[in-house]
């Protein structure tokens, strides 16, 4: 761990346009989404009722929102804010980077 950065997976394992769930250190459940520009990381459980965001669909005019499969709450993948209810709180979010060894790393962003 380097200043809170935690290795998640090889960056090549997350192709552009894909969204996946990863478990970090057996405790943190993350939702990862890769755009042409970067990888976004947020908590995988909807703040409304705990729905698994990785089972939702990417929506929105610029395809930057994840819609919870349980009740339709939407969250911006870029800043983790709630964009549509019933959720009223955003998701915990994480910074991401690709380290020199080609591994995708994340750390909590307050």
Is 1 a domain residue? Answer: no
Cβ atoms < 10 Å from Cβ of 70: 16
Q: Kindly state the percentage of the chain with pLDDT values over 70.
A: 96
Query: Which are the contacts of 24, defined by CB distance < 8 A and separation ≥ 6?
Result: 6, 8, 30, 106
CA angle at residue 35 from 99 to 3, to 5 degrees?
30
User: Is pTM, for the whole model, over 0.85?
Assistant: yes
Q: What is the pLDDT of residue 62?
A: 82
Q: Is the pLDDT of residue 43 over 70?
A: yes
Gap between the Cα atoms of 44 and 50, Å rounded: 8
How many structural domains comprise the chain? 1
Is 45 a domain residue? Answer: yes
Q: What is the pLDDT of residue 46?
A: 96
Q: What is the pLDDT of residue 65?
A: 94
CATH number at residue 53: 2.102.10.10
Q: Per-residue confidence at 9, pLDDT binned at 50, 70, 90? A: very high
Q: What is the pLDDT of residue 30?
A: 94
Q: Print the domain residue range for 70.
A: 6-105
């Amino acid at each position: 761990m380097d200043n809170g950065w935690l290795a998640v997976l090889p960056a090549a394992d997350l192709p552009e346009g894909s969204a996946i769930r990863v478990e970090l250190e057996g405790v943190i459940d993350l939702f990862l989404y890769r755009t042409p520009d970067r990888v976004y990381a947020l908590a995988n459980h909807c703040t409304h009722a705990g729905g698994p965001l990785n089972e939702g669909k990417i929506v929105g005019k610029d395809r930057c929102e994840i819609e919870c499969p349980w009740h339709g709450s939407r969250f911006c993948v870029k800043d983790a804010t709630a964009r549509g209810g019933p959720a009223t709180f955003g998701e915990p979010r994480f910074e991401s980077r690709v380290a020199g060894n080609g591994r995708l790393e994340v750390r909590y962003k307050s």
